[in-house]
Structure 1
């Protein structure tokens, strides 16, 4: 026996939302599921609560049908709650806070009498609530249900800021955290390199929180927004045009913005208002150009009954993040069987049917005589997708899973308490006192696979562990559309791989001709240039400046150009680094070939002169010029010409060691020989004077001593040089752009200057001595020829110094080779051309008689 009360004759409900409105005031219907005996039924609203000529979002009827389908499946399944029947009840909250509070309180009262806290029928009791399509209504319901610790399942959005577990301890979110969705959209914007976007958000607290979360996130990822447009959360039909003119200035920003991507955040009512604004804009000849709409999971492509004639072209190619959904087997067949008379107690199907098919089920409505009469056999699959979809949408899928979550939690309790069951009225088995709060421990640890094959389980904070599908909306002129799944956002994937996208499947707005849209503040800076911030503009707006000399940028829109590695250099466009050419004086290039020919020619010429001298060594002209010094001078000149080959070709460690030392040593021998010749002439003239004591110094000993001592000093300098800081092979990557100069470095600049300076010293001394002795009476006096040769020699090396240090690379080496050849050739020509002339062309002058005649 149990007591009865007059006000307790109906079970407590579980909430479910549906659109129902008058004058565009969006309403929501709240349904409830309960444990009961008998068939589940709808709550039919009293006639006085129904608004004549209702304007509804008839697509939301599917949410209700998803609940009915889930309850039907579970009641027919022998595996879930055998011998237990689940029921449901539906109420309307109209998206108004006061109505949501009243509806939620009515869940806790007796049927037909608003007396909260009376539960007279122990067989028909509230177990859980499914309700809250938007954050505001979810919070309103949770504020009451959490007092009684009744599980509530929000199948729509719920702001994470409101996710206070002290206040909403009984709430379970069927939609993943919004913050994760925002990060996914930012990754999507980065993927397509959209850095200049428009932001559109609902004008309420949730919109404020959205902007507070997203604006810093965009800035951190180098994305800027062109504008922020705030949309009202709801409006009335007679205020539509007034609202449009109020927001006309912002609408013009929307139309004229060069951003092609708009990031939209808004719950169901505000998205209808956005469609209204776009439609009104077309009516006043302000059509919106083709844009890409990137929207959050709140988006459902739906229409109020009066909106079904509005064009959907503006949203063709839109991309939305949608709650993951799947298709339970049998759901479409279930929808195909829906008829106006399919179930008693459905207070919504008549309104839905009339609004969907624009006909009348009740012909006695005088004002609707112009409409056709519904046959009741109309097919739901014939409706355009903007009014009704045959496939289960994301929010319907959440309702479906929420109902199954409640059933599985009850089933777990059923199994754990099997021995505590008792007979009720001697017929059926029922739970003994299962309060709703006991479901929580089973819900938080629950994990099950639904009939569609997806796993459903919650985190500790009551949030569903699930990702988002990325949907591309393809619309058609008849208000139908296709959802194309082009990717997904998986929270269980590794960092950086959570966004998976197949952009080949994406259909863009027709104005883009299927070319990837570009949404940037200005054209990107091409490789070879860098960005320069515009004063007073956001960082996404910038000028492009070419990279400085020697620097490159390989990618578009770089903040700064970079230097190439030393072994590389910028190409002509300064867009990449390319390997430098190795530069040295090669045997194969024209300059090297010319120098080789000159060096070879002068070497052969010197050898030819040496041959002439040797052949005519017994003649007076050869004897008079100290033929041994002549041999030494000619041989050293041959070596001087040949040492030019050490400077041509690719340098190596060995050639670097002997280049300068061989050049310095051979030239010191040549200059020492010239100096010895000059000194010999002077000594010979002085010794011929009567009573001179210099006779003992005339001869080979003095000449050999001069050559040996002067050459030894240079050899000593070279030995010290090689032992302390020898020359080395060096790759000069800085001097010439685009070239690596392969050269021999001196090692010690001081020793190099010492060796070169010593040669200059010998040349100057030889020049001075020769200049003083140039007018001494002698038939074959070489002093005047040596004077001229030293003048040429000194002139060449004085010109060498500035030229050498003003050139780089192989041309520096060429200058040194040319100086060697020119100075050596000067010695050869100036000293030996007169002798060869006499020996070859005037042999009559090369005799002793001529010498005596000249002396007399």
Structure 2
């Protein structure tokens, strides 16, 4: 027979032997069941503790344990040892059931006139199954519940925690005073979230307890910033090999917090392996299966590894009078108590007393499973009380019938269990929510004692979803009161954001600095937030600050440079004006229409000075004045050049026969009138533009930066285009005419100078358009000022520099004879 087949056969035999308690039937009206099953399985071994009563409640407890199987190689059937060893905590639970039943029998308000009896048996060797109180494990509870379900026999378990047993459709007759494992897994997840443990490992036993526990844990941490680095499973059959593997995984992991859903026997082996490798810096979070294990707490060899364990434990509560009851136990007083006799023989072997003895059995400081048994008995008693009190109440309309102690209706008993609601002797409200009771747990901490062992310290409680902790009382695995850090990546500081690493969990990330104009003002930000338009990020990218107003100022380097150049141009123009004024009677000044020259110098000075209007903080009036001053000054300047060019051409044309009248038609009056007319056109354009759609101060938020550009916005581009277009038209005409007259005879031909100046002028303003459009912020204004200054200097130098050179440095050429020579 293969190993698997042998295991299956063994299981089926054990399961079948756990089906029903043949002894417990007469008082509960189960004669048919008793007869059928006892005849089928034969006479049961009469082991246990019995007490007759009007209503007998059965109890099933694991008083002896089955040792773990050794590692299997699956080449032969596994070796299982028989039941051995007496479980002291289970024995304490047995006496908790007896004590509570005796307490109820002496209570005149609860089940008056009805005596409760009991049948309590050991479930290790599989000879019996409880009628009401029992199911010391989830597996046993499932089998008992499913078998008794057709008979409507209620089962109240004190230790079955599988979430599957909460399914009312599958287990209609099942109740328990032990919370579902769902709630302990949620509590463990709450601890990880509360202490910001974002990177944890997990070790689970390879059965429903471990698998469902870690599944619930993962569901609870979903989206809460907690990730699992690893999940290792262990089997009881291969625990030695599995423990070594788990220890190596924990050693290699960067997770400092380990969640464990296992039995205490498995944990002992794992801790021994960790101790061999001197791994003592891990913080363990324990499930209720091992969080209160005395075997581990008292093991000095494990104290370094296990110190600081934080565990979810079955809630504990005091049972008044129970300790005295335990200390009064003695085989001489209870000759039929086989369990007590076995305990006495192993512990004493004589007539000693428990009165003054410190023993685990009499220690009632941490009643956990024992208190669950106590609650189960009281729940059964209150349901029976409600059922048996039926004649005292008005008849109901749901067709239910009343029961007597001799004929208890099992279906009615189960209905009353569903509706049970009472206050325990400790003042606690008790009721069932389906199969379950409201989940309550203790949060315990393993702390070192001077003797080297560990003690259990209560540091918090869980009530449903409410987690209450005394954090200052926790002693962590590190030995300090500072919460251990367990993260894959350190939290990103303000000013940065998380950037997930490819192929890794969300808890593993890099911290990327926020871009300009974006901030994160909290630790661990996932995204950087963009600042409002009026604001910009500070240097640390942690706050949005108002953006600084930016404009071409007189105080900055660019503003100072342009101002200096403009003032220098105006001063130079004034100097030329003075020179021409002083030498106004010389042939050089008189020969080239001195009046237009003076007007041209004035217009050039205005051109230099108008550039200063563009510098400084824009205002309503400066925005309107700057473009008008620019447009009018340049039109006046170009008009003078155009008229001077026409005068040159007319003078040479008049020398031809029949053309004498030409110069008379273009005399000084006509020249002045032409300049005024051409300038008035520009003045009209500016007046119309400024009347209907003038430039206004505007904050330019489009240029992303720490500054807001304050500029004069063109509300109408058409007006500005007309101003530039008109200047360009006059300049082109002037360039064309000057180009035609560049080869006219004479020692000094002003047409050549005008040609050069107009070439520079047109080149500057043709380049101005693309530069103006593409320049950002205040540099738009700088481009326009540069164009004004460049074209003004071009006109000043090309036209007046040669004349000033002759006037000041070559006075011998400043004669009529020289001017007239060819």
TM-score, scaled to structure 2:
0.75
Q: 1:759 aligns with which of 727, 733, 736?
A: 727
In the TM superposition, residue 550 of structure 1 has moved relative to its aligned partner by 7.5
**Which aligned pairs between 1:594-673 and structure 2 lie closer than 5 A?**
594-600=561-567, 602-603=569-570, 626=593, 629-630=596-597, 632-651=599-618, 655-656=622-623, 659-673=626-640
Q: Is the 8 A contact 1:315 1:475 kept in 2?
A: no
2:192 aligned with 1:189: yes
In the TM superposition, residue 824 of structure 1 has moved relative to its aligned partner by 2.7
**Aligned counterparts of 1:395 and 1:292: Cα–Cα separation in 2:** 26
Q: 1:362 aligns with which of 349, 355, 378?
A: 349
**Which aligned pairs between 1:819-834 and structure 2 lie closer than 5 A?**
819-828=787-796, 831=799
Counterpart position of 1:130:
133
2:1 aligned with 1:10: no
Counterpart position of 2:431:
457
Superposed CA offset, 1:12-65 (max 9, x none): 334364553364699xxxxxxxxxxxxxxxxxxxxxxx999x534434455345
In the TM superposition, residue 675 of structure 1 has moved relative to its aligned partner by 1.8
Partner secondary structure for residue 643 of structure 1: helix
Partner secondary structure for residue 476 of structure 2: coil
Q: Is the 8 A contact 1:599 1:821 kept in 2?
A: yes
**Which aligned pairs between 1:112-131 and structure 2 lie closer than 5 A?**
129-131=132-134
Q: 2:475 aligns with which of 491, 507, 526?
A: 507
**Aligned counterparts of 1:168 and 1:686: Cα–Cα separation in 2:** 123
Any stretches of 5+ residues in structure 1 without a counterpart?
Answer: 27-49, 108-128, 236-241, 364-372, 421-429, 492-497
Q: 2:457 aligns with which of 461, 483, 497?
A: 483
Change (3 A) 1:390 1:630: farther
Counterpart position of 2:182:
179
2:313 aligned with 1:317: no
Q: Is the 8 A contact 1:59 1:389 kept in 2?
A: no
Partner secondary structure for residue 587 of structure 1: coil
Change (3 A) 1:675 1:463: same
Counterpart position of 1:586:
553
Q: Is the 8 A contact 1:777 1:855 kept in 2?
A: no
Counterpart position of 2:265:
272
Superposed CA offset, 1:275-308 (max 9, x none): 13423664xx345443222233444422459975
Partner secondary structure for residue 93 of structure 2: helix
Q: Is the 8 A contact 1:350 1:361 kept in 2?
A: no
Change (3 A) 1:142 1:222: same
**Aligned counterparts of 1:825 and 1:630: Cα–Cα separation in 2:** 15
Counterpart position of 1:423:
none
2:441 aligned with 1:399: no
Per mean C-alpha deviation after superposition, the further-off stretch among 12-21 and 717-726 is: 717-726
Partner secondary structure for residue 517 of structure 1: coil
In the TM superposition, residue 509 of structure 1 has moved relative to its aligned partner by 0.6
Q: 1:702 aligns with which of 648, 670, 673?
A: 670
2:253 aligned with 1:260: no
**Aligned counterparts of 1:354 and 1:702: Cα–Cα separation in 2:** 143
Partner secondary structure for residue 64 of structure 2: coil
Change (3 A) 1:638 1:143: same
Q: Is the 8 A contact 1:486 1:502 kept in 2?
A: yes
Q: Is the 8 A contact 2:52 2:118 kept in 1?
A: no
Q: Is the 8 A contact 1:687 1:694 kept in 2?
A: yes
In the TM superposition, residue 408 of structure 1 has moved relative to its aligned partner by 3.2
Change (3 A) 1:667 1:254: same
In the TM superposition, residue 671 of structure 1 has moved relative to its aligned partner by 1.6
Counterpart position of 2:37:
none
**Which aligned pairs between 1:733-772 and structure 2 lie closer than 5 A?**
733=701, 735=703, 737-746=705-714, 755-770=723-738
Q: 2:64 aligns with which of 16, 20, 28?
A: 20
In the TM superposition, residue 244 of structure 1 has moved relative to its aligned partner by 0.9
Per mean C-alpha deviation after superposition, the further-off stretch among 273-282 and 797-806 is: 797-806
In the TM superposition, residue 499 of structure 1 has moved relative to its aligned partner by 5.0
In the TM superposition, residue 612 of structure 1 has moved relative to its aligned partner by 8.2
Partner secondary structure for residue 272 of structure 1: helix
Q: Is the 8 A contact 1:727 1:744 kept in 2?
A: yes
2:145 aligned with 1:142: yes
**Aligned counterparts of 1:353 and 1:778: Cα–Cα separation in 2:** 145
2:168 aligned with 1:165: yes
**Aligned counterparts of 2:407 and 2:353: Cα–Cα separation in 1:** 47
Q: Is the 8 A contact 1:531 1:558 kept in 2?
A: no
**Aligned counterparts of 1:499 and 1:631: Cα–Cα separation in 2:** 94
Q: Is the 8 A contact 2:535 2:545 kept in 1?
A: yes
**Aligned counterparts of 1:739 and 1:465: Cα–Cα separation in 2:** 61
**Aligned counterparts of 1:232 and 1:194: Cα–Cα separation in 2:** 27
Counterpart position of 1:231:
234
Superposed CA offset, 1:697-738 (max 9, x none): 223453345435544554566578779987566555564544
Partner secondary structure for residue 269 of structure 2: helix
**Which aligned pairs between 1:300-379 and structure 2 lie closer than 5 A?**
300-304=291-295, 308=299, 311-327=302-318, 330=320, 334=324, 344=334, 347-348=338-339, 360-362=347-349, 376-379=354-357
**Aligned counterparts of 2:85 and 2:205: Cα–Cα separation in 1:** 22
Partner secondary structure for residue 516 of structure 1: coil
Counterpart position of 2:154:
151
Change (3 A) 1:76 1:609: farther
Q: Is the 8 A contact 2:176 2:376 kept in 1?
A: no
Counterpart position of 1:812:
780
**Aligned counterparts of 2:297 and 2:589: Cα–Cα separation in 1:** 126
In the TM superposition, residue 362 of structure 1 has moved relative to its aligned partner by 1.0
**Aligned counterparts of 2:542 and 2:652: Cα–Cα separation in 1:** 75
In the TM superposition, residue 91 of structure 1 has moved relative to its aligned partner by 1.9
**Aligned counterparts of 1:778 and 1:342: Cα–Cα separation in 2:** 153
In the TM superposition, residue 470 of structure 1 has moved relative to its aligned partner by 3.7
Counterpart position of 1:43:
none
Change (3 A) 1:827 1:334: farther
**Aligned counterparts of 2:686 and 2:63: Cα–Cα separation in 1:** 102
Partner secondary structure for residue 365 of structure 2: coil
Partner secondary structure for residue 417 of structure 2: helix
Partner secondary structure for residue 229 of structure 1: strand
Change (3 A) 1:851 1:256: closer
**Aligned counterparts of 1:655 and 1:403: Cα–Cα separation in 2:** 95
Partner secondary structure for residue 281 of structure 2: coil
Change (3 A) 1:681 1:542: same
In the TM superposition, residue 817 of structure 1 has moved relative to its aligned partner by 1.7
TM-score, scaled to structure 1:
0.73
Change (3 A) 1:573 1:605: same
Superposed CA offset, 1:595-625 (max 9, x none): 3454456556656776887899899877765
Q: Is the 8 A contact 1:336 1:379 kept in 2?
A: no
Q: Is the 8 A contact 1:472 1:486 kept in 2?
A: no
Change (3 A) 1:272 1:678: same
Q: Is the 8 A contact 2:323 2:363 kept in 1?
A: no
**Aligned counterparts of 2:691 and 2:367: Cα–Cα separation in 1:** 88
In the TM superposition, residue 75 of structure 1 has moved relative to its aligned partner by 4.7
Change (3 A) 1:179 1:793: same
**Aligned counterparts of 2:554 and 2:720: Cα–Cα separation in 1:** 26
Counterpart position of 1:683:
650
Counterpart position of 1:114:
none
